Every structure is written in C-alpha cells, then in structure tokens.
A = this chain, B = another copy of it.
Amino acid sequence: MTTATASVQVDAAIIGAGSGGLTVAIGLSQFGKSVALIEAAEIGGDCTNVGCIPSKSLLHHTAHQDDRLASEVLAKVRERRDSLRDHETEEFNNKDGVNMVWGRAKIDAVDHITVTHADASTTSVVAKHIVVATGSRARRIPIEGLAEDRYLTNAELFEEHDAPGKLVIVGAGPIGVEMATAFRRLGSGVVVLDAAPRILPLYLPEASAIVERELTKQGIDVRAGMVAKSFDEATQTMQIGPLDGDATAEITGVDRVLVAVGRVPNSEDLGLEEIGVEMERGRIVIDAKGRSSIDGIWACGDVTTEGATTHAANAWGRRIIKHIIAPPAPAGPAPLHPAVTFSNPEAATIGEQPEEVPSDVRRVVVDYGAIDRSYTDEVGEGIIVVDVRRFRGTVLGATVVGPRAGELISTFSLAMKNDIKFSKWYGTVWPYPSYSDGIGKAVDLYMGEALPNIHREFAAWAKGKVGRLVK
C-alpha cells in the first residue's frame, strides 16, 4: 500500500491536459483561481500529439509535389510535433497559478482526487470543482489474422518512419480521408474502405461524391460499403466485403492498415460511476453549462456527449470557465460547431442539413466552377450548399467543399451564431477574386429565387412552422 506523499488544495482540479483541459486551466487561472492540472501522459492531448498538429503538418508537407523522401517528411512532422509539445510542456510546468500534477487521476469524492504517479507514489488533490477532460482514443476493431505491427491507429501512425508501399485505411471519416490524401502524396498505394455506402458519411451526399471523385483522381482506391473481413499474413492479403455478408473481394500486398472508425471516450477507471455521474455509452452527460449530473463535477470535450473535436472541447471549456466564475449567468444556446476535413479538397459543414430538403427549406447550391478564382487556380470540383428557412431567411446549415472551405465555413459560423438572415448577407462586398465570392453567388441565387416568390416562401414557411410545432 502506498501513502499519499503530497497534497494539494485548489479551486479547480482539471483531469486531462488536452484542448479542453488546457482551455479551462488557462482561463480559470487568468481569473485568479488556483488550478491543479492532472495529466497521465503528455501535454496537448491527442490534438498536439497524435491528431491535428501532426496530421495538418503532414498535409502541409504533402500539399505540393516535391522531391523529398517520405522518410524525411515523416521525420520533419515528428520534429515539429515534438517541438510544440516540448514548448507547451515547459510552459505549463512553469505557469503561475497552475499546479501541474503528473499521474493518473481517480476521483474519490466530489471534492477529492487521488493522483498516482509513475513511481506509485500519490498526490491527494482537494478541489472545489473537478473538471473531467480526459478525451478519447481511437476505437480498435479486431481484424482477424492481422498482425499487431501492421495495425495502426492515429496513435501509432505518426511513428511510421517510411510511407507504406500499400496502406489500407479502414474508415472514411475525416481522419481516414485526410490521411488517404497525405499518404498517397508520400507515394503509398492507398485503399480506403467504409462500411457506409459513401465516404464522409456525416456530410451531404453531394459533398461525399465530390471528395470521392477527387480522391479517385489522385489514384486513391475508394471502396465504399466495404469492411475488413480478415487478413492473411502469409500473402499480406485482406479480405473485404459488405458489412452484412461474406468477403467479396481482396486487397493484396498490404503493408499497413490504418483503423479510423471512431473514438472511444476515456472515461474508465476515473471513479465516475462510483460517485454516480450519469453516463451515456461511456460518455459523460453534460448540461448547457458543462455540468455533469453531480454538483461540482464538470466535463468537456471528447469524453462528453457534446462534440468530439479540438474546437468543441475548447468551446465547452469556455462555458465551464464562465459558469465557475459566474454561476448564475445564463448558459445561452449550445455552441454551433463547424466540422472541417482538411483533405485535398477541404470539406466543411455546419448546422443541420438533412439529405432530403424539407419543404420549408430552400437549398441553394453554387458550384465552385462559378467562382472566378476557381478558374485562375484551376480548381477541380467544389460546392457551396446553403440551407435557408423559407420566408424567414434563417440559415440552418451549410456545406463547403473546395479550397479554403475551412475559412468559408467560419463566415457561416459567425453569421449563424448571430442569426444574420440570409437576405441580410445581400449587399456584402466579397473581395474579387476570393473564394468567398462564391458565398456572394449563393446569396444572389437565394435572392433571385426567393424574392420573386415571396408569397410561396411564406406559405411554405408557415406550413413548416405548423409541422414543427406539432412535432
């Protein structure tokens, strides 16, 4: 039995030093609160270590053809990642008002955490508030016959020292699609599978189709509606087939398999169940203020039911700061999260866009081909899709696929947060020749279609409103 060798008393103890935890730690300490930041592995969480930072660095270094070796590029990516992590670690080890505690946390009571260090010694942390920001990890699915050293997730991928000759990516979500474009550029043969009938299944089908065509042009072999069935190490052959059926095809000569089929919340062994925190499929249920079901226990980021991106963790972390500092402040509406896939082409989406357009919604579609900058930059396909409530003009959702989509969706994020009706976007001068000019074309189209039919727009909106009220 080990004894607590140290003890800390703080206003807030934060478990996990990723995007969410760092946000809360910095924010609360700026407001003069004493903070303990507990981390079992590395500062920066998945984002800095095995997520956004290395993946975007790799995408940057593979954005244009050059004559570097894949091994050089991968080494460079690790170097950039390590340098940022070292910098962040240095910063937090010495940050005023933040007590960095390295080790594994277990919540013993609503105001008490025991942290177990690598040497098995412990620190007792007493805190008025506990914030759980432990994030998530890649979901590992079994692939029968596949050797462990061929099996990669985002946690292992960036430790590869060369581009695999042939890489199979299981899961065509944002991570799968981004890494497909990057490794293809590094020279790998790339096959992408997804159980869903199309890649990027959380995007509009039009968006998925464009990205799929662009990937195919780049020489990436896209197999939608397919899952890995088994692997034969002797021949390095993967059997694949539809989810509900036998293997129907095989991929030979496979060197590595990247599994990117979703995330598992890091919610085990924290003592959450013991103190009665409400969970939903392993995720902490939070309210609009970021509170769990137990008073004094807060949570943000991937470990919660709300959002699983760096910016979502950050946005919810901000809410927690606000409500710890000013408990009676109203929570306001939930933050609206854009999502971006930084592949080539970029794909971005925000808000609600059902596949089938409801009758009280006007869907405006602009092809990137209509944007003059696409002509000068010789862009392939791209699209801007905006859903607007008829008559009212409320922007409900938007999808952008094409260069700089991640910046165009930011304009939507700001405008939707402030509920700028789409008709009020008219008259904005979009710089020529920017890609944002395409947003202007969407507004023109909307005004040209909606205004002359304003009585019909009203009828459709009114009917839809009744429908929504009845629901």
The CA-CA distance from A13 to B366 in the complex, in Å, is: 30
How many residues belonging to A are interface residues under a CB distance threshold of 8 Å?
64
Complex alpha-carbon distance, A309 and B432, angstroms: 8
Partner among B64, B340, B411 whose Cβ is within 8 Å of the Cβ of A414: B411
| Interface membership of A337, Cβ < 8 A | yes
Q: In angstroms, how far is the closest chain B Cβ from the Cβ of A158?
A: 13
Q: Decide: A431 and B413 in contact? CB cutoff 8 A.
A: yes
A134 to B19, CA, bound (A): 54
Residues in chain B near residue A425, CB distance under 8 A: 414, 418
In the assembled complex, which residues on chain B have CB atoms less than 8 Å from the CB atom of A414?
A: 411, 414-415, 420, 425, 428, 439
B432/A413 in contact, CB under 8 A: no
Q: Tell me, yes or no, whether A176 is within 8 Å of chain B by CB.
A: no
Contacts of A439 in B (CB 8 A): 410, 414
**Does A434 touch B at the CB level, under 8 Å?**
yes
Q: In the complex, which residue of chain B has the Cβ closest to the Cβ of A415?
A: B414
**A interface: dominant SS:** helix
Contact indicator B56/A376 (Cβ below 8 Å): yes
**What is the CB-to-nearest-CB distance from A42 to chain B, in angstroms, rounded to a whole number?**
16
Q: Find out whether the CB atom of A310 lies under 8 angstroms from the CB atom of B348.
A: no
Taking the closest CB of chain B, its distance from the CB of A59, in whole angstroms, is 8
Closest to A333 in B: B427
With A80-B375, A409-B431, A433-B310 as contacts: A418 and B417 at CB distance below 8 Å: no
Known: A53-B372, A429-B336, A435-B407. A378 touches B310 (CB 8 A): no
Q: Which residues of A contact B (CB under 8 A)?
A: 19, 30, 47, 52-53, 56-57, 59-60, 64-66, 80, 84, 309-312, 314-315, 318, 332, 335-340, 342, 348, 372-373, 375-378, 404, 406-411, 413-415, 417-418, 420, 424-425, 427-437, 439, 448
With A19-B432, A312-B429, A339-B431 already in contact, 4 other A-B pairs whose C-beta atoms are closer than 8 Å:
A80-B375, A404-B407, A410-B428, A418-B425
